[in-house]
Structure 1
Amino acid sequence: MGDKSADGTPVTVKCLVWDLDNTLWRGTLLEDGEVSLPDSVREVIVELDARGVLQSVASKNDHEPAWSRLEELGLAEYFVLPQIGWGRKSDSVARIAEQLNFAQRTIAFVDDQPAERAEVVFHLPEVRCYAAEQVDELLKLPEFDPGTRTVDSARRREMYQAGFRREAERSEFNGPDEEFLRSLELVLGITRATPDDLARVEELTLRTSQMNATGVHYSDRALHGLLADPKHEVLVTTLTDRFGPHGAVGVLLLEKHASVWHLKLLATSCRVVSFGAGATILNWLADQAAQAGAHLAADFRRTDRNRMMEIAYRFAGFDDRPCACRAELAAPGAEIQLLHLEPARQPASPTIRVDAPDLV
């Protein structure tokens, strides 16, 4: 059923889809009129949300009374992309996975009816299905435990909901892209990482591949060592707009020498590429280096997925021509290119306001 990774460990569930009648609540809404919510179910929903596991609904019901009941129970806010109607459950689950852009193997479905679970498994064999009787045990299962929790985990649902509102407005916007971006009131925050931030930094180095300049993973231990080194800057970037937070969207690892700043790693989330976050980060760093009178050197290792990052570096002006400042740097590792930029003062982004420390 696609529930194991290559090393045999369970693939983490990224979204749990709930049936309603006799699963999430006790009773059948259209027959009984009144249904009840067990405290244990509420606890599961709240805890999964805190872990960063998204949740949705696939229920055969009339939408308005079912959604109204979820609102009365104080649960409606926990569910993204609810599918409440009279179609096949497998179609509902497939739509949820598609709109979230999640692989079906990361989706789980819980229903009290064996026939409904069988229908989902038949059409979507990678989706993991659970009986309603298993709900109280879900929190103990390894596939529902993402492991390290970060600040972004607890607000992952909020970020996705903001994203849906943002995309809905974007689809209705008739002006140029730059005008829409300006209307978002984007703010790129760049901060020096603290020990509490390191889980987010490590997660970004692990999960980001298309916009990761080297593909190198920095462990929690290695990152703690860099925090303690006065020559290194470990920087975390966040993005917010008028719809809400995008969360942590990038990490920079920078080693500062007398005449050259060495960018050892730049990784940004793919979800913010269209907002120009990567270019804004590089322009800010180039401007900081120019103020310090330093050259910029950046490690880059080409992979089969990070072509977009190479384009970002080249577009920012980095090239691989020889430079005397390289003598200050340790020899690059295997397959690592050392790119060079002679930075100059950069104008502010017309669409993103940068809130960042002064590195000079």
Structure 2
Amino acid sequence: MGDLKTVKCVVWDLDNTLWQGTLVEDPEVVLVERIRSVVETLDARGILQSVASKNDHEPAWAALERLGLGEYLVLPQISWGPKSTAVRVIADRLNFAYDTVAFVDDLPNERAEVAFHLPDVRCYPAADAPGLPDRPEFQPTITVDSRRRRAMYQAGFHRERARETFAGTDEDFLRTLDIRMSIVQATEDQLARVEELTLRTSQMNATGVHYSAETLRGFLDDPGHEVFVISMSDRFGSHGAIGVVLLHRHREVWHLKLLATSCRVVSLGAGATLLRWLIDRSARAGAHLAADFRRTDRNRMMEVAYRFAGLTDEDCACVRAIGIAGRDGIEVLHIRPAPQPAPTTMTVEAPGLGGPVVSGATP
């Protein structure tokens, strides 16, 4: 696949693309089975799907429901505005980079309009739609969360609407969610999902480094390394596996090689909670904490999270002693940790690197 990124979301035109026929001319549009199969296959692979169509919303949505397609779609954009605007809205709401979005349309002028305004979006003619699942960019790593991805995003939209109607502060709202974070040591069965997290996360990825399942398997067999998988849930449902931590523990310093979390849980404070847990655990072990950070064009938020947690550019002897400074554009941030208070907006179940620990908000 080279540098070709996996598609995270397919945006469909409707007329003569997702269905056959033009709705304003004939309300009895039809769905051919090979396109239904494509929709179901992409959904099972965890690729989200949406719509950018020039139609009246109400009859178009009614047709989608009649054809059994409505449940597969997130954030449909059905109006008479430019399709580039619709695609931009979908990508921005999902927080996806434009080069992970695909647009499918039967009309060359519509594809050209999207390509002109959003050159990173990949555009495909409707005639190519039946073969999309066979293309490498539509073949992500399949994990236990893949089939649930659409449902998890839909639950997120329900959560957003609940926040809009909540009168209190953000912190008060988070307390109503009954958020639970689980931090567990990765197992062999979870390696595919851990690898996927290193690939899919970009904004909340400290280094942008992809770790293959084979490399991660080597860390599982190394007693000096810890690989953690982080999952979350709340009253709206499961978020699935949302983060990964790769830690190399030395006697005087813990080396955080990777911290990556899904952008879906940024507003829930997932990254900050993980960092506080690591700082607290290293403090109780009497070790400093050193974290790799490599700037990318997407991960400014992760640097802010590290800095806000108290990590600095301090040139500590503990970092020099284990020889981790100045590698491949990677900066090493450092903190002399202190014990951290328990989180107030979620309950954390995590190993104490010596035993289980449960902390945080009580139900």
Q: Name the TM tier (shorter chain).
A: 0.7 to 0.9
Q: Pick from 132, 135, 140: which aligns with 2:134?
A: 140
2:347: which partner in 1? 353
TM-score, length-scaled by structure 2: 0.81
1:252 corresponds in structure 2 to 245
Question: Are 2:222 and 1:229 equivalent residues in the alignment?
Answer: yes
Partner of 2:359: none
Structure 2: runs of 5+ lacking an equivalent: 355-363
TM-fit CA distance, 1:333: 4.2
Aligned to 1:242: 235
Aligned to 2:323: 331
CA distance in 1, matches of 2:25, 2:202: 50
Equivalent position of 2:46 in the other structure: 52
Post-superposition Cα deviations, 1:106-165, rounded to whole Å, max 9, x if no partner, equal 43332334454455445555544333332212222233233x223333333223222222
Counterpart of 1:25 (choices 5, 19, 43) is: 19
Which consecutive unaligned segments of at least 5 residues does structure 1 have? none
State the distance in 1 between where 2:116 and 2:208 align.
Answer: 37
- Give SS of 2:145's match: helix
Which residue of 2 is the match for residue 154 of structure 1?
147
How far apart are the structure 2 equivalents of 1:160 and 1:342?
35
* Residue 295 in structure 1 maps to residue 290 in structure 2: no
User: Could you tell me which of 80, 103, 126 is aligned with 1:109?
Assistant: 103
Q: Give the deviation of 1:258 after TM superposition.
A: 5.7
Change (3 A) 1:94 1:316: closer
Check 1:239–1:119 CA distance in 2 against 1; reply closer, same or farther (3 A cut): same
SS at match of 1:356: strand
Equivalents in 2 of 1:321, 1:274: separation in Å? Answer: 32
Q: Deviations over 1:292-315 (max 9, x none)?
A: x44243233463666654554455
Distance between the aligned counterparts of 2:123 and 2:203, measured in 1? 31
Relative to structure 1, the CA distance from residue 164 to residue 321 in structure 2 (aligned partners, 3 Å threshold; closer, same or farther) is: same
Match of 2:173 among 162, 180, 192: 180
- Per-residue deviation, 1:179: 0.6
> Are 2:336 and 1:341 aligned?
yes
Range that drifts further, 156-165 or 297-306: 297-306
Aligned to 1:13: 7
Pick closer, same or farther for the CA change 1:215–1:32 going to 2, 3 Å: closer
| Counterpart contact for 1:300–1:337, Cα < 8 Å | yes
- TM-superposed CA distance for 1:174, in Å, is 2.9
What's the CA shift for 1:227? 0.6
Tell me if the contact between 2:319 and 2:325 (Cα under 8 Å) persists in the aligned partners. no
CA–CA separation in structure 2 for the residues paired with 1:213 and 1:86: 40
Largest Rg, 1 or 2 = 1
Give the residue type in structure 1 aligned to 2:226.
E
Structure 1 residue 185: Cα displacement = 1.9
**Amino acid of the structure 1 residue aligned with 2:133:** L
Alpha-carbon shift at residue 198 of structure 1 (Å): 1.9
Q: Structure 2 CA distance, aligned partners of 1:85 and 1:304? A: 35
The number of residues matched between the two structures is 349
1:94 aligns with 2:80: no
State the Cα deviation string for residues 188-229 of structure 1 (Å, max 9, x = none): 111111123223323333454554445554332221111112
* Identical counterparts, % of pairs: 60
Structure 1 CA distance, aligned partners of 2:258 and 2:109?
A: 50
Q: CA deviation at 1:334?
A: 2.5
Q: Structure 1 runs of 4+ off > 6 angstroms?
A: none
**Contact 2:179 / 2:345 at 8 angstroms: preserved in 1?**
yes
Distance 1:108 1:32, change over 3 A: same
Q: Aligned pair in 2 of structure 1 residues 186, 131: CA closer, same or farther (>3 Å)? A: same
Listed one character per residue, the Cα deviations across residues 37-68 of structure 1 (whole Å, up to 9, x for unaligned) are: 22111110011112222211123333223222
1:80 paired to 2:74: yes
Q: Which moved more, 1:260-269 or 1:157-166?
A: 260-269
| Equivalent position to 1:61, from 44, 55, 58 | 55
Equivalent residue letter for 1:17 = V
SS in 2 for 1:250: strand
| 8 Å CA contact 1:263, 1:296 repeated in 2 | no
Does structure 1 conserve the Cα–Cα contact (< 8 Å) formed by 2:205 and 2:261? yes
Q: Which of 329-338 and 272-281 deviates more?
A: 329-338
Q: Helix, strand or coil for the counterpart of 2:228?
A: strand
Give the drift of 1:353: 1.0
